[in-house]
Chains A and B, each alone.
Chain A
Amino acid sequence: MKKIHIIGIIIIAVATGAILTSLMDAGTYADFSTADKNPGAEYHVVGKLNKDKPHDFNPELDANKFTFFMFDNNGIEKKVILYKSKPQDFENAEQIVLIGKSKGNEFHATEILMKCPSKYNSGTPTETSAN
């Protein structure tokens, strides 16, 4: 066996390893009910903020805890505890992606991604006073 074959085998092994760990490290997008069925596992849950219910951020007490209610894409509502400070512009978020685990009646999130309505597409020109 030539050296080039040994190298080839090593490369294939490393590449396979890279693919496998990528697949293992990947979370899955899910809804709350899926997350509930498997409380230990981490999920990405996509949804919308329930604007009728209050959210609670009390930085003087704990700057790293923020509580709110979210509907997932199936309309199921759940209380969410985010272990981060309240994201700036939270109220305007069009869509929320949470990364975390289900725990009892709550969803404990460690990360939040928000999609804010970008005026990029929906922007309409407004009349401004002449200047």
Chain B
Amino acid sequence: MIEYVGENLWIGNTGNLLIILSFVCSIGAAFAYFKSVSAAEESAGWKTIARKLFYAHALSTLLLIVLLFVMIANHMYQYFYVWQHSNNSMPMRYIFACFWEGQEGSFLLWSFWHIIIGVILTRTAKEWEAPVMAVVSMVQFFLMSMLLGVYFLDYKFGSNPFLQLTREHPDFANLPFLKMPDYLSKFDGRGLNPLLQNYWMTIHPPTLFLGFALTVVPFAYAIAALWTKKYTDWQKPALAWTFAGISILGVGILMGGAWAYEALSFGGFWAWDPVENASLVPWLVLVAGAHVMIINKSGRKSFHLSFILVILSFLLILYSTFLTRSGILGNSSVHAFTDLGMSGQLLVYLLFFVFLSIFLIAKNYKQIPHESADDKLWSREFWMFIGSLVFLLSAFQIIFSTSYPVINKIFGTNMALGAGGAIKHYNSWQLPFASIILLLMAFAQFMKYKQTDSSYFFKKIRLSISLSVLITFIVSYLFGWLSFGSELLYAFLFFSSAFAVIANADYFVSMLKGKFDSAGASIAHIGFGLLLMGALISTSKSEIISKNYKMDAEFLGKEFSNDENITLLKNDTIQMGDYFVVYKGKRKEGINVVYEIEYLKFDELKKGFNYEFTLSPFIQLNDRMGNAPEPDTRHFLYKDIYTHVRYADLSEEVNNGTRHEHDEKEKTQNYTAEVGDTIFAFNAIMVLENIETKFDTAFLSSLKNPTIAVGAKIKVFDFNKNERTIMPLYTIYDSIPRVYEDTLTDLGLRIALWKINPAERKFDISVMETRKKASDFIVMKAVVFPGINILWVGCLVMAIGTFMAVRKRLKQQ
């Protein structure tokens, strides 16, 4: 055995001990809580033991978390997880990001929230504590098993964050320099993926995982209710938790969208990426569940659907965990976790709770209270019920299309959604769903439970409808939506979002008289309406302004014309949308290559340019995930200009060397062309327009009267959209051919027609080109998103509204 210097083995040993302790205590707590429920009499003994075991589990997990932080903060690279996610130059502010970059750390983060929630439940759940905590402990048992890292019958259970690089990791154990006793002093970690080194990585995961963790509470209550056959009482305590889940999970998801928009170059705030979808779907189902629970409280007392939705929402969290962590999304998503070989274990986790839920629902199905009377059409509960079902359908559509990799695996098929087609596919379903939801959201509040007088309803809703119609007409006129076709759908969607916002605002003012205590729902609905309105305007009216003005794409007649990127030569001034842009140069800042692009406006009076602002999109030189472009956005009140670099020559920066200038050598390329063919040169595009054989006598005599003269009439287009016609000639003087080339000196072009094949109508053309020195250039994409601030305001308002709903439910308890 080698004696290594500077290792801290006690920390790993303690950590391993704590994992086992935490694991054992979780199953112990689950068992003791289970016994406490199933004991004929309310058994205080089992419950006390269970609670102690859960606290032991909580404490050991918290210590685990502390230990992992200590390891990362002190750069203990003998541990694989630390080596993998941190390095010596890591600023302390990214310590949280390092902690949960990997699967193990993010499982711990998730567990952390479960523990906090669990401890709160032991204090507040009273008679529900035992059955609810039995479920929570069971969930924790499965989570902790993901951290075990032990082999059992050749199958590896979990992945252990205290794994030692030198002794236990198969890839590293035999590396020679790791055999040196003082290897740690010469050893640096691999570090956190630079793309994740930002504040979003510090705030997004904990919010999202708290949202995930909160869904376990309504689930646990529902399971507890089925188990103890108390089918109705569970909803009151569960509802506050459900709203908390909606609130936090919603904020977490939207934060992901804001991160994508601000710091990643996906080209927008929502890309329908499988990982995004996987967290959206449980949220949609949870929202549906909460609404059905509200119906159960005041309207129809049919409880089946609330059980199904609340349970489904947590199962979908487990399903999304399976999707993002099993490696199954590897080909279809850019940001799933890497596979740690735990797919089997994750599947068992999912299936255990799926079968438990199905079993309990099936067993109790007949006993669950159910009102057989039909809902009245003029009742609030009927339309809330419809809305919940639309949410469920929307969730179903998303999860079905997201599950292709799973379907392919099960049925051996080979299906995939196209990267561009996916967004269209989801939008074509989700936009109509959204607009139905918005309409329901607008008018359902003005209905009463049980039965509403129709004249009362119309009187109340009249103002909102007329105002919404008016605004829709004005906006649609301005946006040019008042034509038949798909634009009319936008007008309709805008109407539904405006209606939702205005009707809920009206309800808040006229019905609630501005009382904030019960306004959670109205405010959340206003936020949701604004969010979708902002999404609608910013995506439907988004405009790619980086069209290539230099080249006319239609002229090229391309079937696939994809004219969305612009080439900027250094110091050239080019028109882009309302602006003129100049690529001023680049500089290296750490691992980023920053490109400075000035935006100017043309002043008609001054006949000159006025400087407006500078945007600096950059490319991160990232050896882990490839060089990643990151956008820079100019925010205005009513629009954003979002830009990112699509292509730049990085050879200089990557190699830290100097650029090798291309020599100014002439290059010749030969083509055989027919009339109408296009020839591409470095600096121009040429089209063989025509073959001329008849010339006037003066011209021929200037050539000293050849026997035969053939001219290739070629149209040349250059960058500045100039069009010129040139005509190289092929002549024969008494069977001796002679070629007259034509030149365009400013483009460095010489063109010759050197062979003709009249039978096939084919002509051999040589293009001799002197390329200019490779100049510094970038290819950039710029998109204008109008009205995106409506979306962000909507997010904020919705978050506030859902928080208010939580507060109200807590007060009622």
Whether B627 and A89, one on each chain, are in contact in the complex, defined by CB atoms closer than 8 angstroms, is yes
Give Cα A87 to B420, complex, Å: 16
Whether A108 and B560, one on each chain, are in contact in the complex, defined by CB atoms closer than 8 angstroms, is yes
Chain A residue contacts of B177, Cβ below 8 A:
127
Chain B residue contacts of A4, Cβ below 8 A:
374-375
Question: Which of B110-118, B243-251, B392-400, B441-449 participates in binding chain A?
Answer: B392-400
Known interface pairs A26-B404, A88-B647, A121-B338. Does A44 touch B185 (Cβ–Cβ under 8 Å)?
Answer: no
Give the Cβ gap from A59 to chain B, nearest Cβ, in Å. Answer: 5
Chain A residue contacts of B683, Cβ below 8 A:
60-61
Give the Cβ gap from B171 to chain A, nearest Cβ, in Å. Answer: 7
Give Cα A100 to B419, complex, Å: 11
Chain B residue contacts of A131, Cβ below 8 A:
88, 188
Give Cα A123 to B421, complex, Å: 35
Whether A83 and B562, one on each chain, are in contact in the complex, defined by CB atoms closer than 8 angstroms, is yes
Chain B residue contacts of A116, Cβ below 8 A:
625-626
Whether B190 and A3, one on each chain, are in contact in the complex, defined by CB atoms closer than 8 angstroms, is no
Whether B393 and A60, one on each chain, are in contact in the complex, defined by CB atoms closer than 8 angstroms, is no
- Of A23, A57, A62, which is in contact with the most chain B CB atoms at under 10 Å from its CB? A62
B680-717 residues with Cβ-Cβ distance < 8 A to A are 680-685
Whether B389 and A83, one on each chain, are in contact in the complex, defined by CB atoms closer than 8 angstroms, is no
Chain B residue contacts of A59, Cβ below 8 A:
567, 647, 777, 779
Partner of B186 from A23, A29, A114, A130 at Cβ < 8 Å: A130
Chain B residue contacts of A108, Cβ below 8 A:
559-560
Contact with B along A18-53 (1 / 0, CB 8 A): 110111011111100000000000101000000000
Whether B680 and A61, one on each chain, are in contact in the complex, defined by CB atoms closer than 8 angstroms, is yes
Interface size on A, residues (CB 8 A): 59
- Inter-chain CB contacts under 8 Å: number: 170
B183-216 residues with Cβ-Cβ distance < 8 A to A are 185-188, 190
Chain A residue contacts of B172, Cβ below 8 A:
124-125
A105-131 residues with Cβ-Cβ distance < 8 A to B are 108, 110-111, 113-116, 118-121, 123-125, 127-131
Chain A residue contacts of B420, Cβ below 8 A:
99, 110-111
B541-569 residues with Cβ-Cβ distance < 8 A to A are 548, 551, 553, 556, 558-567, 569
CB-nearest residue of chain B relative to A18?
Answer: B397
Whether A21 and B190, one on each chain, are in contact in the complex, defined by CB atoms closer than 8 angstroms, is no
Whether A88 and B562, one on each chain, are in contact in the complex, defined by CB atoms closer than 8 angstroms, is no
Whether B551 and A15, one on each chain, are in contact in the complex, defined by CB atoms closer than 8 angstroms, is no
Give Cα A75 to B779, complex, Å: 32
Give Cα A22 to B193, complex, Å: 35
The reply to whether the CB of B650 lies closer than 8 angstroms to some CB of chain A is yes
Whether B548 and A25, one on each chain, are in contact in the complex, defined by CB atoms closer than 8 angstroms, is no
Give Cα A42 to B625, complex, Å: 28
Give the Cβ gap from B535 to chain A, nearest Cβ, in Å. Answer: 20
Give the Cβ gap from A9 to chain B, nearest Cβ, in Å. Answer: 12
- Of A15, A18, A58, which is in contact with the most chain B CB atoms at under 10 Å from its CB? A18
The reply to whether the CB of B83 lies closer than 8 angstroms to some CB of chain A is yes
Give the Cβ gap from B651 to chain A, nearest Cβ, in Å. Answer: 10
The reply to whether the CB of B673 lies closer than 8 angstroms to some CB of chain A is no
Question: Which of B21-29, B409-417, B466-474, B756-764 participates in binding chain A?
Answer: B409-417
Partner of A64 from B171, B377, B417, B564 at Cβ < 8 Å: B564
Known interface pairs A29-B414, A61-B680. Does A18 touch B338 (Cβ–Cβ under 8 Å)?
Answer: no
Whether B779 and A44, one on each chain, are in contact in the complex, defined by CB atoms closer than 8 angstroms, is no
A1-24 residues with Cβ-Cβ distance < 8 A to B are 2-4, 7, 11, 14-15, 18-19, 21-23
CB-nearest residue of chain A relative to B408?
Answer: A29
CB-nearest residue of chain B relative to A95?
Answer: B331
Chain B residue contacts of A7, Cβ below 8 A:
386, 389
Known interface pairs A18-B400, A127-B187. Does A62 touch B551 (Cβ–Cβ under 8 Å)?
Answer: yes
Partner of A124 from B171, B188, B375 at Cβ < 8 Å: B171
- Of A60, A87, A110, A119, which is in contact with the most chain B CB atoms at under 10 Å from its CB? A60
Whether B396 and A15, one on each chain, are in contact in the complex, defined by CB atoms closer than 8 angstroms, is yes
Known interface pairs A63-B548, A83-B560, A97-B331. Does A22 touch B425 (Cβ–Cβ under 8 Å)?
Answer: yes
CB-nearest residue of chain A relative to B718?
Answer: A61
Chain A residue contacts of B389, Cβ below 8 A:
7, 11
Chain B residue contacts of A128, Cβ below 8 A:
186-188
The reply to whether the CB of A84 lies closer than 8 angstroms to some CB of chain B is yes
Chain B residue contacts of A11, Cβ below 8 A:
389, 393
Whether A125 and B190, one on each chain, are in contact in the complex, defined by CB atoms closer than 8 angstroms, is yes
Give Cα A79 to B114, complex, Å: 54
CB-nearest residue of chain B relative to A44?
Answer: B416
Give the Cβ gap from A64 to chain B, nearest Cβ, in Å. Answer: 5
Chain B residue contacts of A103, Cβ below 8 A:
559
CB-nearest residue of chain A relative to B374?
Answer: A2
CB-nearest residue of chain B relative to A81?
Answer: B560
Chain B residue contacts of A14, Cβ below 8 A:
393
Give the Cβ gap from B347 to chain A, nearest Cβ, in Å. Answer: 21
User: In the complex, given contacts A3-B374, A61-B680, A125-B83, what are 9 additional A-B residue pairs having Cβ atoms less than 8 angstroms apart?
Assistant: A21-B425, A22-B425, A25-B401, A25-B417, A29-B416, A61-B681, A88-B627, A110-B560, A129-B186
10 A-B contacts (beta carbon < 8 Å): A3-B374, A4-B375, A22-B425, A61-B680, A87-B647, A92-B626, A111-B418, A113-B419, A119-B624, A121-B338
Q: Which 5 A-B pairs have the closest CB atoms?
A: A26-B415, A83-B560, A83-B562, A18-B397, A89-B626
